Each structure stands twice: as C-alpha cells, then as structure tokens.
Structure 1
Amino acid sequence: MKIYFLAIPIIIGVVIGIGLTLNLESAPNDSSILNKENLMQGTTILGNPDAKITIVEFGDYQCTFCYKFHDETMKKIDQAHIKTENVNFVYRDFPLNGPQSILASEASYCAQKQNKFWEYHNTLYDNWGGENTGWITKNVLIGFANDIRLDLDSFSQCLENSEFKQKVLDNEQFAREIGIDATPSFLIFNDSELYRIIGAQPFEKFEQALQELGTS
C-alpha cells in the first residue's frame, strides 16, 4: 500500500527454530520476537505443513496491491510451488485501511471456525471492490459466507460479537513490532535464511528468492 519494491535479500545465519534476526532499520530492538513460532502462530497453513520453505504475507483485504498479488502472482506461486508441496503459505493481517479492513479480517476467522479460511480469503479478494469504497459491510460479508456455504447463524453471531477483532489487532501489532510498514509485505524463509519482499512484485521475483532458499 505504501512502498512497492523488492528489498535486498536478507540472509540470516541463525536457525529459525532458535530465532531470526533482521538487519533492518525498522526492526525492533528485541528481534527475538521474529521467529518461526511467532510467525506461524494462529495461522492456517496453505499447502504442506512440513514444506521446508514458508511464505508469510502481511496483507489488507482492501489493499490494491494485495489484490493484484492475489489475482496475478499468487496463482502462479500456488501452481508452481504450493500444490507441488515445496512451499507453504500463511496470511497475517495488517489492516492499514482501517475499520472495514479489520472487519473483513474478522470475517475470515469466523470462516476459519468452520474450516473454510482459505475459501473465504479467496472470496474476499475475488470480489475486491477497491480501497475504502464501502464495499465491505456486514451484510456483504454474510453474503460471501452464504456463497461458500457456511453456517450463517454461527458466522453472523461470530461477526456480531467481534469474536476475532483482538486477534486481528494483535496481528497488526506484531507486524509493526517486526518492522512491517506496507502491504503486501512478505517474509520468505527456510531453516536458516530469510528474504523480505515488499509490494505486488512479479512471480519472477518470488521465484528468485525461492530458488535461493532451495526449491530448485
């Protein structure tokens, strides 16, 4: 949303199980929070949970460049690497566009309760209506739930009770603590190295990082 470029790869000489360290000006003083356990906490994994490489996206359901990534690059990554079980993918909320983005993220976790996080996630981006245009409302979100055949009573109650609002806000806070300041932002890592990519970069940029990390 703010900055769109490929950051220089940051190679980490520390095993992720112990803890990663980012050499970034915006990184926290206590960078021990940037580790695999924290990055994966509370997420739903797309792909093989045991894949050696993970892509973590920090995104906003209203973000223009998040939508472009979903519509273009993500489909290629899915076909080339996630479906072949070389890479897994997780999504973390960074709702920079405000209350409507927070509400959309809440809805995704209400869908997760019914084991349909990724179906709902994809439906949000497939029906993307711009940044702060008013397309995200509770009625619209309930309509999406109906489209993927969720239990509407359970979903609506979850949304009405703001059951996952704090989770979304915690995700945003965590992102800020590890130096994330734009959407979409990506951390791509294996057990010893990490690359950071910012923006809706073309597939080739992700492919380069994945090859460096050992998919080839």
Structure 2
Amino acid sequence: MPKNTKSSKNSKPSKSAAKPAATSRKPILIGIAAVAAAAVLGIASYQATSPDAKPTVNDSASTADPAAGAHPELEKLARRDAKDPLAQGRADAPVVMIEYADFKCSYCGKFARDTEPELVKNYVDNGTLRIEWRNFPIFGAESEAAARGAWAAGQQGKFWQFHAAAYAEGSKEKGFGADRLKELAKEAGVPDAARFATDLDSAAAKAAVKKDQDEAYGLGASSTPSFLINGTPIAGAQPMDAFAQAVEAAAKAKK
C-alpha cells in the first residue's frame, strides 16, 4: 500500500483533531459478515491526511473493492424516506448511494463539485439513483457545527443549497464558525434565519448528526468521503467512471 499521503482521495483526522467519544465507535448490528465486508471503508488505502489536504486529479489510491461486492445487510442501511431533506432522488429508485462526508474534507468537496453533479444529471434525474447524505464530522468542533448547520438548513428544505455553498471552491478556508454558518444559510436561501439558529443548536440536530456518525463508525469508516452503493463499499473521491460503473452494475443486478 502506498505511503504517499498525497495520493489518497480521502481525508482522515489528524492527530490533533478532536476524537469522538468511545460510544461513537460501537459497531451497529449489521452482522459479522457485513462488518467484515464494510471494513473496506476503514482500510481501503486510508493514508492519514489533514482536512486541508489538496486533492489531486491523478490520484490512484482509494479504489472500490470489487471483491467486497454487494451485501444485503449494508444495503438495508438505505433509509428510503421520501421526506428526508438530506436525500435526493426517488425513494423507490433501484440504486441508493449513501455518502458519509465532512464539510471540512477537501476530498468531499472535490467529489461534491466534480462528480456528484454528473451523477445527479445522469442517474438521479432519470430515476435510477437516490443519494442519501450522512453527516460524518471527524475534524473537530467546526466539522460538528457545519454538520448541524446543514441539518438545520434541511429543516427548511435547503440542505442541498447549503451543501453547495459549503463545498464551493474556497468556502472551507473561511471556516465554519457561528457567523460563517449564518452566511452560508443566507447563501443557501434559508428563509427563516431565527429558526435556523434555533435548529442549529437544538438537541434534535445533535442527535441526528450523532446517529449518522455512529452509523459510519459502526461500519469501520474512519476517513471521508466513504460510500455505499446498494451495499457495495467505495472509499474516496473516485473518478466519475468508478461511480458510474458501480451504479450501472447495481441497477443491472436489480433487474
């Protein structure tokens, strides 16, 4: 496995990053076989990188693991809630991609800007794919705050607009302090700023973020971004072709 961290398409918390409580790492009950399969999310070339690492175009690490295949236990993690504001695409789409990501992660931003729009255009819009977001803050307090901010924006139907604003080129460098989150909410078109502020610091926001975070840790994920496509793990901000192949294979399998 390469040692050069610059070739990784994932971000992993640095030693100085805040560590989650031990309870956050308690494995979810998805079966021993599924846990073993999902371990690819934790070990598929997750070299340590900082949240400020700069993604490069010709990276070759962090590929999907064809041997892992699709696992029914992992596929069941798709929530398929038609009212989920942190998802896009038909609730009954044949393929669901679950994305575990952090707003301070450079590789997540690269995926959000370069690859996700193509997936939406090619597969979400025609009803093949559903994308379900999971907040997976791993870089400390600002990551946690951004996750709660995204959730709060979602309560007013503006999650994906907040997502786009937070992942815009150069946005991460401005940080995710309280004032910046208000700016992002405004950029996203969140209509009620007072409600946003209340939701941001609510127990419901903290519980929702923790639920997603616990799910990711239970799968063995330790870096971002991580994905499940109908139960098949993919690690890192892969090129569009890798996701296209996985989506098309999953759709074919459903037929």
Unaligned runs of 5+ residues in structure 2 are 1-10, 13-45, 47-60
The answer to whether structure 1 residue 88 and structure 2 residue 130 are counterparts is: yes
The answer to whether structure 1 residue 72 and structure 2 residue 114 are counterparts is: yes
**Aligned equivalents of 1:47 and 1:39: distance in 2?**
13
Larger deviation, residues 164-173 vs 69-78: 164-173
- What's the Cα RMSD here? 2.2
TM-score by length of 1: 0.80
* Structure 1 residue 128 displacement after superposition: 4.8
Amino acid at match of 2:242: K
Give the equivalent residue in structure 2 for 1:108: 150
Conservation of the 8 A alpha-carbon contact between 2:128 and 2:251: no
**Aligned equivalents of 1:35 and 1:209: distance in 2?**
14
Describe the shift of the 1:129–1:149 C-alpha distance in structure 2 as closer, same or farther (beyond 3 A): closer
Give the equivalent residue in structure 2 for 1:5: 62
* Structure 1 residue 211 displacement after superposition: 1.9
Amino acid at match of 2:119: I
* Structure 1 residue 11 displacement after superposition: 2.4
- 1:18-37 aligned within 5 A: 20=73, 34=74, 36=76
Give the equivalent residue in structure 1 for 2:251: 214
The answer to whether structure 1 residue 40 and structure 2 residue 82 are counterparts is: no
Give the equivalent residue in structure 2 for 1:143: 183
* Structure 1 residue 72 displacement after superposition: 0.4
Describe the shift of the 1:40–1:142 C-alpha distance in structure 2 as closer, same or farther (beyond 3 A): same
Q: Which of residues 237, 249, 254 is equivalent to 1:200?
A: 237
* Structure 1 residue 170 displacement after superposition: 2.4
Give the equivalent residue in structure 1 for 2:220: 179
Task: State the SS of the aligned residue for 2:182.
Answer: helix
Describe the shift of the 1:169–1:127 C-alpha distance in structure 2 as closer, same or farther (beyond 3 A): farther
**Aligned equivalents of 1:209 and 1:41: distance in 2?**
19
Task: State the SS of the aligned residue for 1:214.
Answer: helix
Conservation of the 8 A alpha-carbon contact between 1:62 and 1:128: no
Describe the shift of the 1:205–1:187 C-alpha distance in structure 2 as closer, same or farther (beyond 3 A): same
Amino acid at match of 1:157: T
Task: State the SS of the aligned residue for 1:95.
Answer: coil
* Structure 1 residue 196 displacement after superposition: 1.1
Unaligned runs of 5+ residues in structure 1 are 21-33
TM-score by length of 2: 0.68
**Aligned equivalents of 1:39 and 1:214: distance in 2?**
15
**Aligned equivalents of 1:171 and 1:185: distance in 2?**
12
Larger deviation, residues 166-175 vs 96-105: 166-175
**Aligned equivalents of 1:129 and 1:119: distance in 2?**
13
Amino acid at match of 1:136: F
Task: State the SS of the aligned residue for 2:88.
Answer: coil
Task: State the SS of the aligned residue for 1:144.
Answer: helix
Amino acid at match of 1:95: P
Task: State the SS of the aligned residue for 2:220.
Answer: coil
Kindly tell me the number of residue pairs found equivalent between the two proteins.
191
Conservation of the 8 A alpha-carbon contact between 1:57 and 1:90: yes
**Aligned equivalents of 1:52 and 1:149: distance in 2?**
31
* Structure 1 residue 35 displacement after superposition: 5.1
**Aligned equivalents of 1:205 and 1:47: distance in 2?**
20
Larger deviation, residues 204-213 vs 2-11: 2-11
Give the equivalent residue in structure 2 for 1:119: 161
* Structure 1 residue 55 displacement after superposition: 0.4
* Structure 1 residue 65 displacement after superposition: 0.3
* Structure 1 residue 102 displacement after superposition: 0.6
